[in-house]
Amino acid sequence: MDRRPAVIANWKMELSHKASVEAANAIRKLLKDVKLDMDVVLCPSFPALGAVQDVLHNHEKVQLGAQNIHWEEKGAWTGQVSVLQLTPFIHWCIVGHSESRALTGETDEQVQLKVQLLLKHGITPVICIGESLAERQADQTIERVTAQMHTLLDKATRTSLTKMVIVYEPIWAISAAGTGQTPEPDDVAGIMLLMRKLVAERFDNEAAQRVRLLYGGSVKPVNVTPFISEPGVDGVLVGAASLHPMDFVEIIKTVQQNAQ
């Protein structure tokens, strides 16, 4: 079954307003003559969304996403941003990123509320799932991923599954986590198999083959090939390397070549 590849840039809080615009412009230019049949998404910080949207205007190759939303549509939530405030800008939104979870203590259930809100508003949720270093060391990876998938699948429908992207992102593999390690690509493939098996148990094999699964965690031009060569890995979520337009575009091209 053909699943559309996706490469998503998570710029975190790393770029100034000006640098976000420059990076988007550079990526736009570097992709000018590149033939793409995949989703490429930039997720800048909230204040840069409008300016990056202007840069991407009429550019069908690159879409815009946010890095988070609140789980309520509206209310007395100082400092938070609602999906309703973002719909004019974005088609994608990361939720459940471990850095947001760590900061706010949000639960898997709250992440699911966000997923439901995004789906309601026609925005593609990019849902991050993955184990911590302590969980990995305690051999609890499968348990943790299974628990997170169950919470997600409890609320999912067969149709909604085709409208989201799930990222297996082991927290310890994120470059900012500082372990300097990444999982073996065949371990990632094993987790993808587990995730598809859980989807098949909840729905059926067809649903399992349709859901898009990405890998995230220290993806760079030099290490992307083994990950995306694994069957079942449909793309990547990229943090640090996406801050460098040439690196990010190289990753995009590698994923595109691999999909052909």
Question: What is the contact surface with ligand PGA in residues (CB under 6 A)?
Answer: 10, 169, 174-176, 216-219, 237-241
Please identify the residue of the shown chain whose CB is closest to the bound ligand PGA.
Answer: 239
Rounded to whole angstroms, the Cα distance separating 217 from 132 reads: 12
Q: Return the number of the residue (176 or 222) whose C-beta is nearest ligand PGA.
A: 176
| DSSP H or E segment with residue 58 | none
Report in angstroms how near the CB of residue 217 gets to ligand PGA at its nearest: 5
Report in angstroms how near the CB of residue 93 gets to ligand PGA at its nearest: 13
Report in angstroms how near the CB of residue 149 gets to ligand PGA at its nearest: 18
Cα 4 from chain centroid (whole Å): 14
- Single out the catalytic residue among 59, 91, 169, 230: 169
Task: From 10, 196, 5, 4, select the one nearest 93 (Cα to Cα).
Answer: 10
Q: Return the number of the residue (108 or 247) whose C-beta is nearest ligand PGA.
A: 247
Which residues lie below 8 Å from residue 156, measured CB to CB, with a gap of 6+?
A: 164, 202
Q: Return the number of the residue (101 or 207) whose C-beta is nearest ligand PGA.
A: 101
Label residue 79 exposed, middle or buried (CB < 10 Å: 0-12, 13-18, 19+): exposed
Does 169 qualify as catalytic in the annotation? yes
Q: Return the number of the residue (209 or 223) whose C-beta is nearest ligand PGA.
A: 223
Report in angstroms how near the CB of residue 42 gets to ligand PGA at its nearest: 13
- Single out the catalytic residue among 97, 99, 106, 135: 97
94 HSE (CA, 13 A, CB side): 32
56 contacts 64 by C-beta, under 8 angstroms? yes
What residues are labeled active site? 97, 169
